[in-house]
Structure 1
Amino acid sequence: MVYLLEEIDLKAETIIGGNVDIDKLRVCMQDAQLLDLEPLIGHSLYRKIENEYEAGLNGDYKTLYDDYLKPYLIHSTVKNYLAIGAYMIDNAGIYKHSAENTESVTRNELDYIYKSEKSKCDVYAQRMERWLCKNRLPEWLKDRCNTVKVNNGSWYF
């Protein structure tokens, strides 16, 4: 799998500390890409970005990545990490890690932080959609135009 984010981007632009294990972040990055981003932009455009990411994006694809996809993925990864970051599974079972001289956040505090990150994702998703509607990349149009609309009475799904 090609990861569309660098560890440095996550740690420099979010509340994630520099010593957070990248292996735990990668799981959240993968979920952000496959479960959040791909349905948002469509399979064809997602594959185009993924295939050209390592070689270097250019033109509208670079603009899309730098201005919209990257910020979206950063905040989506953090959102996903907030749900699992405190937990660990190993041979001893499932446990919650707690460092010395720290205070765990309450469920309400965690919900507040989660909602904040989710809100940022939503804003970047809306901006991305407006940009895609304006710039009409062929891969995005292909998936958008191939969406099947089912008429169920007066409702379309």
Structure 2
Amino acid sequence: MLDTLLIQPGDNLMNRLTAISGNVDMDKLTPSIWTAQITDIQRILTKPLYDKILTDFDNNNLAGEYLKIFEDYVSQMLIFYATSDFIMKNTIMIANGGNFIHTPENSTIPDFKQTDRISKHYRDLGAHFELEFYEYMKSKSIPEYKRRCVDTDSFNFPWQL
């Protein structure tokens, strides 16, 4: 299940909900989706709940509270965290001959501050759904969820420290 992605590049969700163009090679999104899934989503859900949702998703068995968590929180968090990651990596191509920066025709490449700003914007959108998830979980008893409910008013995300 290491290669199971909770959103598929071909679903076009990232194109519909973000500024990622429809002409982006969807295979280029896969590493960012996978990275966000194992670093952010697994951290947020805790490993037991992450494994449960991943297994049910893989077997097409998501139902009840697990389906609601997936549809209302996981998919949005994953889209925005993956987009943030993709934006930071997209301008550089790594090949046998070295590292290259793409130079598009009839346009300019944004500087690092602009790229960082748009990446942070998507990271913040992911954080919004993360906080919504924590609020939702305060009133739920999901056996696989192994985190105490956090006080979201005083919660500090790692990138805010």
Compute the TM-score of the two structures, normalised by the length of structure 2.
0.84
Which string of whole-angstrom CA distances, capped at 9 and with x for unpartnered residues, describes residues 61-111 of structure 1? 111111111110000000100110111111111111111111111222112
Residue 15 of structure 1: which of 4, 19, 22 is its match?
19
Counterpart in 1 of 2:151? none
Residue 144 of structure 1: which of 122, 131, 147 is its match?
147
Residue 54 of structure 2: which of 50, 57, 73 is its match?
50
Amino acid across the alignment from 1:51: T
2:45 aligned with 1:41, yes or no? yes
Q: CA deviation at 1:23?
A: 2.3
Query: In angstroms, what is the RMSD of aligned CA positions?
Result: 1.2
Structure of higher CA gyration radius: 1
- Consecutive unaligned residues in structure 1, runs of 5 or more: 146-157
Amino acid across the alignment from 2:21: G
Distance 1:46 1:134 in 2: 19
Give matches, 1:4-153, under 5 Å.
4-7=6-9, 8-54=12-58, 55-140=60-145, 143-144=146-147
Distance 2:25 2:139 in 1: 39
Amino acid across the alignment from 1:75: F
Q: CA deviation at 1:18?
A: 1.1
Runs of 4+ more than 6 Å apart: none
Aligned to 1:135, the other structure's residue is in SS state coil
Amino acid across the alignment from 1:106: D
Compute the TM-score of the two structures, normalised by the length of structure 1.
0.86
Q: How many residues align?
A: 143
Q: CA deviation at 1:144?
A: 2.4
Aligned to 2:110, the other structure's residue is in SS state coil
Tell me if structure 1 keeps the 8 A contact 2:91–2:101. yes
Q: CA deviation at 1:56?
A: 3.6
Distance 2:68 2:143 in 1: 15
Counterpart in 2 of 1:2? 4
Aligned to 2:105, the other structure's residue is in SS state coil
